[in-house]
């Protein structure tokens, strides 16, 4: 029987999905159904003090008629290979025991779970391999990265773009928005920005030129705010944090736009990878 202390059990407790992690396609089960089942399993395992009830260790090797997928819980698969097809699309191949099938119908999808920037992400994908493929299954994951720089009211067109991405459950574009304002009080549309930043693929960062100390900011802003003016060092850090070479969108005053463009060039982006509003 496996033993854990209270701290270990808390680390093993399932994380409740965010509303943005539900694809709203009527999946059976939904990610929230799976969460409730995993939470119930965790509670029963903790009550009995037996971690093996949580891990579900197998006592015998898999046979060809075994079913790998269980709608009641997630199954772990080993990533066998990753093939980059384009700048914005990669083919992921996962290993399956020889002779064992996923037994999915044509067009049926899987819900994959992973961690992105510390946030647990769940997305639905339809395997692109042959239905009778043995020993593996493949999914095609498409994404890009938008790097946004705004000053003042220049945030308006960017929010429209972000909302069009988060409203589309099939859009996997990553977004990093950098808002440049004088102080925390000068940040436009805080509530909407906070709401959008809860999505798994949206991050916000702030540059406050006249704010004196981070202590004046809410806790949720302190780790994602730079005090002072936007400079080359900050922009290099943001560019290097992108998973792929980003496409930059800039909206502000004429001077702001030109300064950011110059910094982006120095950070390695060419003019074809930048758009000025």
The CB-based long-range contact list for 154-160 (8 Å cut-off, 24+ gap) reads 154/251, 154/252, 154/253, 154/256, 154/277, 155/179, 155/188, 155/189, 155/193, 155/251, 156/188, 157/251, 157/277, 158/249, 158/251, 159/189, 159/192, 159/193, 159/196
Could you give the CA distance from residue 49 to residue 53 in angstroms, rounded to a whole number?
9
Could you give the CA distance from residue 238 to residue 147 in angstroms, rounded to a whole number?
8
Q: Is 142 assigned a ligand-binding role in the annotation?
A: yes
Could you give the CA distance from residue 126 to residue 274 in angstroms, rounded to a whole number?
33
Q: Is 140 assigned a ligand-binding role in the annotation?
A: yes
Is residue 189 helix, strand or coil? coil
What is the maximal distance between C-alpha atoms in the chain?
68
Interacting residues of 95 by C-beta distance below 8 A, sequence separation 6+: 77, 78, 79, 80, 135, 136
Q: Is 125 assigned a ligand-binding role in the annotation?
A: yes
Q: Is 119 assigned a ligand-binding role in the annotation?
A: no
Annotated binding-site ranges = 123, 125, 140, 142
Annotated binding-site positions for FAD: 123, 125, 140, 142
């Amino acid at each position: 029987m496996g033993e854990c202390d209270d701290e270990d059990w808390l680390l093993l407790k399932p994380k409740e999905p965010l509303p943005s992690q539900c694809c709203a396609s009527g999946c059976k089960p939904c990610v929230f159904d799976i969460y409730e089942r995993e939470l119930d399993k965790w509670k029963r395992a903790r009550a009995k003090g037996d971690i093996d009830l949580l891990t579900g260790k197998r006592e015998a090797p898999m046979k060809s008629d075994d079913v790998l997928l269980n709608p009641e819980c997630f199954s772990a698969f080993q990533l066998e290979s990753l093939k980059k097809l384009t700048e914005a699309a990669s083919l992921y191949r996962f290993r399956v025991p020889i002779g064992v099938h996923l037994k999915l119908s044509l067009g049926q999808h899987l819900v994959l779970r992973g961690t992105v920037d510390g946030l647990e992400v769940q997305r639905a994908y339809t395997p692109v391999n042959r239905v009778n493929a043995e020993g593996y299954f493949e999914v095609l994951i498409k994404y890009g990265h938008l790097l946004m720089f705004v000053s003042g009211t220049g945030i308006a067109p960017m929010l429209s773009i972000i909302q069009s991405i988060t409203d589309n459950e099939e859009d996997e574009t990553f977004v990093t928005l950098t808002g440049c304002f004088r102080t925390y009080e000068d940040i436009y549309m805080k509530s909407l920005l906070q709401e959008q930043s809860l999505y798994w693929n949206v991050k916000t960062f702030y540059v406050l030129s006249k704010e004196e100390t981070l202590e004046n900011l809410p806790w949720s802003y302190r780790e994602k705010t730079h005090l002072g003016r936007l400079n080359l060092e900050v922009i290099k850090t943001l560019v290097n944090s992108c998973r792929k070479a980003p496409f930059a969108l800039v909206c502000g005053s004429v001077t702001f736009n030109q300064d950011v463009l110059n910094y982006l060039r120095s950070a390695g982006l060419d003019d074809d990878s930048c758009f000025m509003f």
